[in-house]
Amino acid sequence: MASIREVAEEAGFAPATVSRYLNGHIKLKPSTQKKIEDAIDKLGYRGNGLARRLATGKSETLGFVTTDISYPFFASIASAAEREATRLGYALAVFNTRNDIMREMQILSYLQTRQLDGVIIMTNHTQTEDLATQITNDSHVVILDEDIPGAVGPRVFAENRQGGRLAARHFLENGHRSFAVISGPRGLISVEERIEGFKEELSVHGLSLPSDMIFSGPYSEETGGLGVDHFRNSPDRPTAMFATADNLCLGAIREANAANLKIPDDLSIIGFDDIPNADLLAPPLTTIRQGTAELGAESVRLMLGRLRGEIDPSVTTRIPVTLIERQSVRRMD
């Protein structure tokens, strides 16, 4: 571990000056503080964390807000964010809101009391005006996974539209011509972009997705089951079904089994996320993989860049997606 003397040499100041600064006994001009902080970050000096926090007015803690930590996709992102925050010298406090917007706004208020230096927020609402206003009023927020329209702040999203296109392309390459979509709530960026991409790829091949072949509801297993029940009674029952999240697939597969529909013989399914153990389902699930490690780590990097004033609030980073082919799609004769 680096010493105060090494930090002082790197910053170009006397060790006594650095020591007094870290212990809160001296107030330095911003440019001098930045040189010392940059040296600390470069050398990985930790020292007396409490003294440093008192001196800088920083908690050295980031908040990570998620709607449901029990869902493997969200848990994987939170784990990756925590790992990156720790690597960069920050603690990460994870808040599970159960999609309660008032709880989300309460956590954002911790920024004003300096309990948190910044907040990475994953939300799942279609009506977010109050949330957007609160985020815009505080500059230390990164929006992750789902959009919050009207909010000013950096964003990190998956390549949702490309994922939809990859799913449609895989169905088409396997001879399917009859399609349905089970989705989360309409209005969410993950839903709209994934459906748009799916439809765009169909249109390239002269096909379309009628509006009545889209079944929407909360992002839950129950919605997936209801979707299968809805479409299996349709006079034009589809052979291929795209779900905009893997948890929808869990309910869809359960309902298909209960209705004696064989996957993929009677119904082919592609999901989105590639949650842990998707390969252990029966059959193993073909899905669009989002890079949870990249989503989590990039959100932390953007957050720290924002805190340093190096990141423009209008920046949006897109994380690539890939199709993971397993055994839930049938090759049509």
Given a cut of 90, whether residue 292 has pLDDT beyond it is yes
Q: Roughly what angle, to the nearest 10 degrees, separates helices 15-22 and 49-56?
A: 80
Residues 115 and 228 occupy one common structural domain = no
What span, in angstroms and rounded, lies between the C-alpha atoms of 217 and 224?
9
Helix (H, G, I), strand (E, B) or coil at 114: coil
Around Cβ 140, how many Cβ atoms within 10 Å?
Answer: 17
Give the chain's largest Cα–Cα span.
Answer: 81
Residues 125 and 183 occupy one common structural domain = no
Given a cut of 80, whether residue 24 has pLDDT beyond it is no
Over residues 55-61, the mean pLDDT reads 64
CATH number for position 104: 3.40.50.2300
Does the residue 278 lie in any domain? yes
pLDDT band at 1 (very low <50, low <70, confident <90, very high): low
3-state helix, strand, coil in the chain (%, to 5): 45, 15, 40
Does the residue 329 lie in any domain? no
Peptide bond into 15 cis (omega under 30): no
Are 72 and 84 contacting, i.e. CB atoms less than 8 angstroms apart? Answer: no
pLDDT band at 54 (very low <50, low <70, confident <90, very high): very low
Residues 102 and 24 occupy one common structural domain = no
DSSP H or E stretch at residue 180: strand 179-183
| % pLDDT > 70, the chain | 94
What span, in angstroms and rounded, lies between the C-alpha atoms of 87 and 90?
7
Given a cut of 70, whether residue 25 has pLDDT beyond it is no
Taking Cα atoms as reference points, which of 115, 34, 46 lies closest to residue 86? Answer: 46
* Structure tokens, 79: 């784990």
Question: What local confidence, expressed as pLDDT, does residue 50 receive?
Answer: 44
Range of the domain at 89: 61-158+292-319
Are 124 and 188 contacting, i.e. CB atoms less than 8 angstroms apart? Answer: yes
What span, in angstroms and rounded, lies between the C-alpha atoms of 322 and 235?
33
Residues 31 and 10 occupy one common structural domain = yes
DSSP H or E stretch at residue 256: helix 246-258
DSSP 102-166: HHHHHHHGGGTTTS-SEEEE----S--HHHHHHHHHSS-EEEESS--TT--S-EEEE-HHHHHHH
pLDDT tens figures, 254-263:
999 999 999 9
What span, in angstroms and rounded, lies between the C-alpha atoms of 119 and 122?
10
Does the residue 211 lie in any domain? yes
Residues 296 and 286 occupy one common structural domain = no
Question: What local confidence, expressed as pLDDT, does residue 235 receive?
Answer: 82
Query: Worst-scoring range by mean pLDDT, 39-43, 102-106, 156-160?
Result: 39-43
Does the residue 332 lie in any domain? no
Residues 275 and 196 occupy one common structural domain = yes
Does the residue 223 lie in any domain? yes
Residues 106 and 79 occupy one common structural domain = yes
Taking Cα atoms as reference points, which of 171, 281, 181, 173 lies closest to residue 230? Answer: 181
How many structural domains is the chain composed of?
Answer: 3
Taking Cα atoms as reference points, which of 178, 4, 148, 1 lies closest to residue 67? Answer: 148
Contacting residues for 309 by C-beta, under 8 A, at least 6 apart: none
